[in-house]
């Protein structure tokens, strides 16, 4: 399992969120990605805010440079609407394309790009107060998350990006327990996008009994300097190493 820092890109530059205090985030996207790499990150999630179905995104070459020169795994999310947009990122080496609400609005599109780019497509499942929320939909749904996940996976999605918070927007112990169950019930790899508050929440997620959980995305906690990326990665590596040793001893 890896920690995945997230940035927002607009017109080639990092779009900082309100309250950003961490020096790791620079206006220059390449320098920010280099800071992540230097801290030990193996991958980066980039939300492209400049996607357009007409012409190439101005962020495409920036993302290509990050991929080529820093040898980071690149995962890109955004308002993808056409297969050609997806293809442009696949061509420059992006490992995973993360679809937004279009995966729900147009299941035919999801199935089509999954067939065209097998193993390269992911989709979101986000819960708030036990209800699945879909970007662009005015109301929450009553359908359980596993039903949505099965549809997405059956269409060909390789990864599910899963987040769950309570009614106040916090990632509680109950949310983490629900995610553990989801990871063990779904036949797909999972990346957690729940917004953690601090190192203790990272530890709780990393130590879950969830073999299909491959990554945890860090967003506000990094921007607001509540989590030190280098320290968090070191902690996760130590926890995983300890778990491997415990498993080995158990199997002897």
CATH number at residue 26: 3.20.20.70
| Count of domains forming the chain | 1
Residues 6+ apart with CB under 8 A from 154: none
Q: Which spans in 145-228 are helix H? A: 145-154, 173-185, 199-206, 220-223
Category of 197 on φ-ψ map: left (φ > 0), alpha (ψ -120 to 50) or beta: alpha
pTM to 2 decimal places = 0.92
Q: Of 10-24, 54-68, 204-218, which has the strongest mean pLDDT? A: 204-218
Q: Give pLDDT tens digits for 93-127.
A: 999 999 999 999 999 999 999 999 999 999 999 99
Identify the domain containing residue 69 by its residue range.
Answer: 2-251
């Amino acid at each position: 399992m890896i920690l995945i820092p997230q940035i927002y890109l607009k017109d080639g530059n990092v779009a900082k969120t309100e309250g950003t205090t961490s020096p790791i985030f620079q206006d220059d996207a390449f320098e920010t990605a280099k800071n992540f790499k230097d801290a030990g990150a193996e991958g980066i999630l980039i939300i492209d805010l400049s996607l357009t179905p007409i012409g190439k995104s101005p962020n495409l070459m920036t993302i290509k440079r990050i991929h080529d020169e820093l040898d980071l795994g690149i995962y890109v999310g955004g308002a993808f609407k056409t297969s050609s947009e997806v293809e442009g990122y696949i061509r420059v080496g992006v490992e995973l394309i993360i679809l937004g609400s279009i995966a729900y609005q147009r299941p035919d599109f999801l199935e089509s790009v999954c067939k065209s780019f097998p193993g390269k497509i992911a989709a979101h499942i986000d819960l708030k107060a036990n209800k699945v929320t879909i970007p662009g939909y005015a109301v929450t749904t009553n359908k359980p998350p596993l039903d949505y996940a099965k549809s997405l996976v059956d269409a060909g999605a390789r990864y599910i990006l899963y987040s769950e918070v309570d009614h106040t927007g916090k990632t509680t112990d109950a949310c983490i327990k629900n995610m553990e169950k989801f990871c063990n019930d779904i036949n797909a790899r999972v990346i957690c996008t729940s917004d953690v508050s601090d190192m203790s929440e990272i530890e709780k997620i990393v130590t879950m009994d969830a073999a299909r959980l491959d990554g945890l995305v860090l967003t506000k906690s990094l921007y607001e300097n509540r989590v030190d990326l280098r320290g968090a990665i070191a902690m996760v590596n130590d926890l995983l190493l300890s778990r491997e040793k415990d498993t080995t001893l158990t199997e002897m």
